[in-house]
Amino acid sequence: MLLREELSKIVGNEWVISSDEKKLYGFDGLTAVKGEPELVVLPGSEEEVIKVIRLLVSRKRKVIIRGSGTSLSGATVPLNGDEVVVGLSRINKVYRLEGLEIEVGPGIINAMVTKNAPPNLFYAPDPASYQVSSIGGNISHDSGGIHVVKYGPTFNSIIKIKVILPNGAVEDFRPSPLFNPTSIFIGAEGTLGAVLRARLRLFIRPKEKKSVIATFNSLRDAANAIVDIFRHGIVPSALEMMDRYSIIAIEKSRYKAGIPEVEALLLIELDGSQVFEEESKVKSLIASNGGEIINVKDDSKYWNARKGAFPAMGSISPAYITLDCNVLRSNLADTLEKIREIARKYNVYIANVFHAGDGNLHPLISYHPDDFYSFYRAVRASDEIEKMVIENGGVPSGEHGIGIEKVKYIEKYYDADSIEVMRRLKHNFDPEGLFNPCKIFGGCNINSKELKVLWEWD
C-alpha cells in the first residue's frame, strides 16, 4: 500500500497533502532557502500523531515536525525532497488547568495560553511572533521574548513535556532532584522527537505595572543607561531597544507611533511592589546618561510598534536575515557601534531592535531576494557580526535556534568535545537520522547556492 493511502487511513484523505499545496510547507520564517516535502500530513489528535509517526518510523521515512512555520533559522525547511512534514497545528487543546499550571497541545498558539488562563494569571514567554507561533515550536527553540529578562525563556516555564521519540516510544519527562530530562528536548529543534503535550507554568499578574519610555541621541548613552539600571539592582520585567534604522522602518509602516528619529529608543516595563520607587530611579539614571523621557498617557502604541518592528522591515526591503546573538550588557555599546560599521562595509541596511535587558540582539539585515549578490552581502555581514559576538564572549543564538542558518557557527562557538557529545546524543535518540535531518549539524549535499553561502565561510 502506498504511504499516502496508509496516512489517509489514519488522519483522513483531506489531511494528507501531496498536491502543489505542499510547497507552502517548503519554507518557514527564513525565506532565503526553500524546499519541498514529499508529503504533508496534518493529524487531528494526539493519538493520530502517534500513529502517523510510528508508521513513518517503521518505513524509515524522514520526518520534519512543524508548528506554525515561524522559525527564523530554517528549522522546518525540507532540504532533501523526501521528507514528510508532520504539522501539529491542529493539536491545540487545553487539557488541564489547575492552580499555576496549564497543560496544552503543541499546536496551541502562544497568545492563546494566556487567553485560556484565569484573568489573574499569564504565560510569560512572549516572542514577537506570539500571536501566531505555536507552543511546540517555542519549546523546540526555547523562545524568549520581551519578558525574558525577568521571567526567563520557555525553559523556565516548562513543568513537564510528553514526547514521542524516533523509535516510536511515548515518554513523559519532568524534572527530578538529580536531572531535568526536559532540558534535552527544549531547544532541540525537533531533532530528537516530537512534543505531544506540555504542562506550562503560569505567573500571577503583578498588581502594579509601569512603562518608562526614553529617547537617546547616542547608541552608547542608551547602552550605558541599560547597564546602570541593572547595576542599581533594578530588574525590569521588559527592557527593549530600537535604533534609528528600526525607527525609520516602523514610521514608514502601519505600526508607526510618532517616534522621533533619534539614535535609540528604550522601552522599559517595571512591575511588582516596588514599581514607583524603581520608576523614579530609572528616570534619574536615564537623565544622567543623556536620555530624555517621553511622557505619554497611553504607552501601548510604542509597545505595539516594538512588536511590529519585524514586519515593519517590509517598508524598507522585501526580505531580511534576522540574527539573535547574545552579548554581555557591558558589551552592548561597542557591539552596536561595530554593527553600524559592518553595515557600511557591506552596504546593507541593518536595523537593530532587540531584548536589551538580556543582551539578545536582533540585527535585521535587509536584502533583495531577486538579487543574489544582495543576499551574499547580507550573509557576509551576518557572519562578521556573529564572529564579533562570539569572540567577545557572546553566544550565536539566544532563541531562534541553529536550524540551517547558523550551522557554521557551531564549530566557531563550541569545542570539538562539546560537538561530539551533541552528535552522540542525536545518534542515541535517532540512530537512523530520521528526525529533522540536515539541521543544526548540516551534513547534507545540497545544490542550493543560497544554502552554500549560509554554510560556507568566505
* Chain segment 158-208, per-residue pLDDT in tens: 999 999 999 999 999 998 888 899 999 999 999 999 999 999 999 999 999
Q: What confidence tens digit (pLDDT) does each residue in 110-141 have?
A: 999 999 999 999 999 999 999 999 999 999 99
The residue among 204, 227, 251 that closes a domain is: 204
Looking at the structure, tell me whether residues 73 and 222 fall in a common domain. no
Confidence at residue 179, expressed as pLDDT on a 0 to 100 scale: 87
Looking at the structure, tell me whether residues 98 and 199 fall in a common domain. yes
Q: How far apart are CA 103 and CA 95, in angstroms?
A: 5
Looking at the structure, tell me whether residues 76 and 148 fall in a common domain. no
412 within some domain: no
CATH of the domain at 307: 3.40.462.10
Q: What confidence tens digit (pLDDT) does each residue in 358-368 have?
A: 999 999 999 99
Looking at the structure, tell me whether residues 263 and 368 fall in a common domain. yes
Class of residue 230 by CB neighbours under 10 A (exposed 0-12, middle 13-18, buried 19+) = middle
397 within some domain: no
Looking at the structure, tell me whether residues 241 and 312 fall in a common domain. yes
Confidence at residue 191, expressed as pLDDT on a 0 to 100 scale: 97
81 within some domain: yes
314 within some domain: yes
Confidence at residue 85, expressed as pLDDT on a 0 to 100 scale: 98
Looking at the structure, tell me whether residues 122 and 234 fall in a common domain. no
Q: What confidence tens digit (pLDDT) does each residue in 375-427 have?
A: 999 999 999 999 999 999 999 999 999 999 999 999 999 999 999 999 999 99
Contact 244, 263 (CB under 8 A): yes
Q: What confidence tens digit (pLDDT) does each residue in 56-96 have?
A: 999 999 999 999 999 999 999 999 999 999 999 999 999 99
**pLDDT exceeds cutoff 90 at 443:** no
CATH of the domain at 179: 3.30.465.10
Looking at the structure, tell me whether residues 13 and 46 fall in a common domain. yes
Q: What confidence tens digit (pLDDT) does each residue in 281-290 have?
A: 999 999 999 9
Q: How far apart are CA 88 and CA 106, in angstroms?
A: 7
280's grid cell: 523614579
Domains: count for the chain:
3
CATH of the domain at 82: 3.30.43.10
Q: Which of 203, 199, 202 has its CA nearest to residue 103?
A: 199
**pLDDT exceeds cutoff 80 at 447:** no
Looking at the structure, tell me whether residues 352 and 227 fall in a common domain. yes
Contacts of 320 (CB under 8 A, 6+ apart): 313, 364, 365, 366, 367, 378
Looking at the structure, tell me whether residues 373 and 290 fall in a common domain. yes
Looking at the structure, tell me whether residues 242 and 365 fall in a common domain. yes
Confidence at residue 326, expressed as pLDDT on a 0 to 100 scale: 96
Q: How far apart are CA 24 and CA 62, in angstroms?
A: 18
Residue type at position 81: G
Cross-strand pairs, 210: 270
Looking at the structure, tell me whether residues 235 and 359 fall in a common domain. yes
Domain span at 343: 209-391
Distances in Å between the alpha carbon of 396 and those of 30, 100, 389? Answer: 16, 33, 7
Looking at the structure, tell me whether residues 54 and 200 fall in a common domain. no
Start-to-end C-alpha separation, the chain: 48
